[in-house]
Chains A and B, each alone.
Chain A
Amino acid sequence: MEENHRNQSLGGLVIESIQARFAKGVLEQYRSDKIWSTKSVRESSLHGSSLTSAGHPEFDGLDIGERAACNLAVTFFDMSHFTARSFWEPLETVTRLAQAVLTQFALIVEESGGFVLGLRGDGLMAGWGGQGSEPEVDVVMCMAACAIALDSGKGVLNDLLARDAIEPVQIRAGVDWGEVNFIRTGTNKQSDMNIVGFAANFAAKCEKYANAWEIVVGEGASLHLDETYLTSHADSPKDYQYKGERRSYSFNQFAWKRIVDDAASAINQIGGRPTSAIVPTY
């Protein structure tokens, strides 16, 4: 286990590292009996009223068809090769693993001042930003969350999974920044908050460009990052053609291992407050 995964001891007081908490949380969730208790369709419709859906609190009040714009750092995390895993392994096993890993991803997002915007299968979409937040702060905290998620997975979590004879997971992330629209889409009976905009679409594309244990960052987010942390991706740029016009959009690999220690401290410091609470003084 690498040094930065270990719990720190300060004057006899053991402080659990964020990576260790992530890994322990995954295993606890994975072993939880709650996931095995399959409910009937009728029972599952009577879910607890205290649960809230994923989304951005500033836009929860939008009615169907209403929309609001926001600059956002957007990330898509997922577990690569999960489709193959779901083909070979029992449904219960992959459900357990997805639940366990995504729950810990969600906790990192929340602790780093972001919002979980959606969950699908083995993936999670999250955003940082809102009224009064600085784009640079949003992007940097998003990168911090991604770095911790990957580091936690690659280090402590896979060590613990191996001890339990569980196949290791492989995690990747895509990130971009830009203006998106929140719009409630659906009918009066069923609706969901949709997030529409190039930044959200390209963050998803970046995730697909990323191999396991990589973070790929779109041009919009890259503009807010020190270029010494970025290396042009082999497939960059992406060309778009429209009505005879051609434009390129670049994307980069992000050197996430270099910020792991700093990211953990920064997440501990922000402690779940939204990024709009941070005043840049650099």
Chain B
Amino acid sequence: MTIASLLSKLGRRTPLFVTVAGQVIGAADVVKADGEFRHPNHGRVTSVAKHAFHDGDDPIPTEVVNAWWINDPSALETERNNMALAFPGFTEVTTDGRPGWTGEIDTGRGKHWIELVHRRDHGLPSVEVLSARRLERRAGRRFVRSPHLFTSGKLCVAYADDWNADEHDAVTVVAWAAHWLAAYSEWRFTSKWPSEGAAVEAA
């Protein structure tokens, strides 16, 4: 049992936020002004939407005639604006003809280069850590695979039902990935995964 586990058990759930650099912080000193959350030291911060980590097989995309970014180009444009504000260090990429984002998450305990790629059916985007060949920790002479990974090794940042394409975008998923990586850092140190996800979010 660790501090994080005790907090998870005993502490009342409060919203989490992610800084522009990718560090997860608590709600202390975060204020909402003009529709955005700000912290006196970290500047603009992003609320972590409700989500739960899980694992299993990679989700199978639904076949669609046109990808969502073809049907609704304005949604992608809105996402670009939101990413520029929330995670300005990220750059837009195209992978297998699909739009996505790549950038560095600095958890405060380590830096990880990630890539997020959208799905044609507008389901939960996939997230992969590019800066590590394997996500694992040493346990004696062997290595233990990180919890909360899909079979492919991509991050299982949330349940498919946590994702709401009408409300969420890449900003949501980068914040979930930052939370995943913060928990992963804790797991690497302590062997205990400290969090089930985020049970509440800032309004």
B6 touches A224 (CB 8 A): no
Chain A residue nearest to B14 in the complex (CB): A136
Q: Which residues of B contact A224 (CB under 8 A)?
A: 11-12, 14
Q: Which residues of B contact A226 (CB under 8 A)?
A: 9-12
Bound CA span A282–B108, Å: 16
B47 CB to closest chain A CB (Å) equals: 14
Which of A41-49, A51-59, A180-188, A263-271 contacts its partner?
A263-271
The contact of B6 among A71, A133, A134, A262, by CB within 8 Å, is: A262
A179 CB to closest chain B CB (Å) equals: 12
Chain B residue nearest to A139 in the complex (CB): B11
A50 contacts partner chain B, Cβ-Cβ < 8 Å: no
B9 touches A262 (CB 8 A): yes
A225 touches B11 (CB 8 A): yes
Number of interface residues of B (CB under 8 A): 33
- A197-253 interface (Cβ within 8 A of B): 223-227, 229
B41 CB to closest chain A CB (Å) equals: 8
Which of B22-30, B60-68, B94-102, B121-129 contacts its partner?
B22-30
B7 touches A282 (CB 8 A): yes
Bound CA span A74–B165, Å: 45
A100 contacts partner chain B, Cβ-Cβ < 8 Å: no
A281 touches B4 (CB 8 A): yes
A10 contacts partner chain B, Cβ-Cβ < 8 Å: no
Q: Given the interface contacts A136-B7, A229-B10, A266-B3, does A279 sit within 8 Å of B108 by beta carbon?
A: yes
Q: Which residues of B contact A149 (CB under 8 A)?
A: none
Q: Which residues of A contact B172 (CB under 8 A)?
A: none
Bound CA span A132–B12, Å: 19
B151 contacts partner chain A, Cβ-Cβ < 8 Å: no
Bound CA span A269–B4, Å: 10
Bound CA span A257–B26, Å: 27
B2 touches A279 (CB 8 A): no
Interface size class of A (residues with CB under 8 A): 20 to 34
A90 contacts partner chain B, Cβ-Cβ < 8 Å: no
- A121-146 interface (Cβ within 8 A of B): 132-137, 139-141, 143-144
Q: Which residues of B contact A141 (CB under 8 A)?
A: 3
A263 touches B23 (CB 8 A): no
Chain A residue nearest to B196 in the complex (CB): A282
Q: Which residues of A contact B183 (CB under 8 A)?
A: 281
Q: Which residues of A contact B11 (CB under 8 A)?
A: 136-137, 139-140, 224-226, 280, 282
A137 touches B7 (CB 8 A): yes
Bound CA span A3–B109, Å: 35
Q: Which residues of A contact B26 (CB under 8 A)?
A: 134-137, 280
Q: Given the interface contacts A262-B5, A265-B2, A269-B3, does A281 sit within 8 Å of B186 by beta carbon?
A: yes
B46 contacts partner chain A, Cβ-Cβ < 8 Å: no
Q: Which residues of B contact A143 (CB under 8 A)?
A: 10
Chain B residue nearest to A222 in the complex (CB): B12
A281 touches B179 (CB 8 A): yes
B168 CB to closest chain A CB (Å) equals: 21
Bound CA span A135–B27, Å: 9
B3 touches A134 (CB 8 A): no
A213 CB to closest chain B CB (Å) equals: 19
A266 touches B2 (CB 8 A): yes
Bound CA span A140–B3, Å: 9
A-B pairs with beta carbons under 8 Å apart, 22 shown: A132-B41, A133-B28, A134-B27, A134-B28, A136-B7, A223-B12, A224-B12, A226-B10, A226-B12, A227-B12, A229-B10, A262-B5, A263-B6, A265-B2, A266-B6, A280-B7, A280-B24, A281-B4, A281-B186, A281-B195, A282-B195, A282-B196
* B-to-A contact residues, CB < 8 Å: 1-14, 16, 23-28, 41, 108-109, 179, 182-183, 185-186, 190, 194-196
